[in-house]
Amino acid sequence: MIEISLQKLKLPHKTLFTGYLLVIGLGLLMAGAQIMLTHGMADGKLGLSVDDIVYSYYGNRSGSKLESMINGSMKSHAPAEVRLDIIKWVRNGSPEDKWNNHFKGVFAQHCTMCHSTIPGIPDFTSYQAVKQEAKIDEGASITSLTRVSHIHLFGIAFIFFFVGWIFSYASGFSNRLKAFLIFMPFAFLILDVASWWLTKLNPNFAWLVIIGGFGYSLASAVMILTSLYQMWFIKKPASRPASSNIH
């Protein structure tokens, strides 16, 4: 039986696998950047922290979701005096008469370029939509968690399947260690998604979100870098000459 290894692959296969791994690696980096710019800004400070996770999934129940947004991920879209003006209006109960006379124009100037054109986010041309976001911040809704969970579980599982399949041809690892590394991203993905729901119920589970995301990123990085290294930087072993029988 012929043993397949990464360094023995033909050039077309190496090129195919390399292109896939490079794109996936870049995609993981972009996903990390996106997390830093969204969840990582939930507390108004750059960098992912436990507070960011709590605000994103459990919510900041001392104030409204709108207040958390404009002091967090949306902070750069309006000057301080405008944000303070909106917060005072929200804390006064978001009266509709002031919406028509003043705040409709404020939101049109600073918010609706995105919050009226991008699907899946509130339409801030509507008072009712703004009023909904002005309620106490209870974090991610059950509907949004369900939607994001099934997208992550289906989509990212395909990524890990093909990364693991390529890595399964790596050499220098025992079968047990190789199997462990291949399974780790799937295990951490399940932990990551489960921890969103647990944090929604109790903020003390926020640490699990960070552990899950870091775990599957690290395991994937090990498999991607190992596969690339073995394909291109380890020489293909020389084939043994056929033995001849002398009678």
Cα→Cα distances 54→106, 123, 172, 197, 208, Å:
29, 25, 41, 11, 11
pTM: 0.73
Q: What is the mean pLDDT of each run of 10 residues along the chain (247 residues)?
A: 80 96 96 84 76 87 79 82 90 88 91 84 88 83 93 95 96 94 97 96 94 94 96 74 50
Say if residues 121 and 115 touch (Cβ distance below 8 Å). Answer: yes
Residue with tokens 């002091």, as numbered in its chain: 71
Token digits of residue 185: 């991203």
Q: What is the pLDDT of residue 147?
A: 94
Q: What residue type is 52 in one-letter code?
A: D
Which residues, in sequence order, are CB contacts of 197 under 8 Å at separation 6+? 145, 149
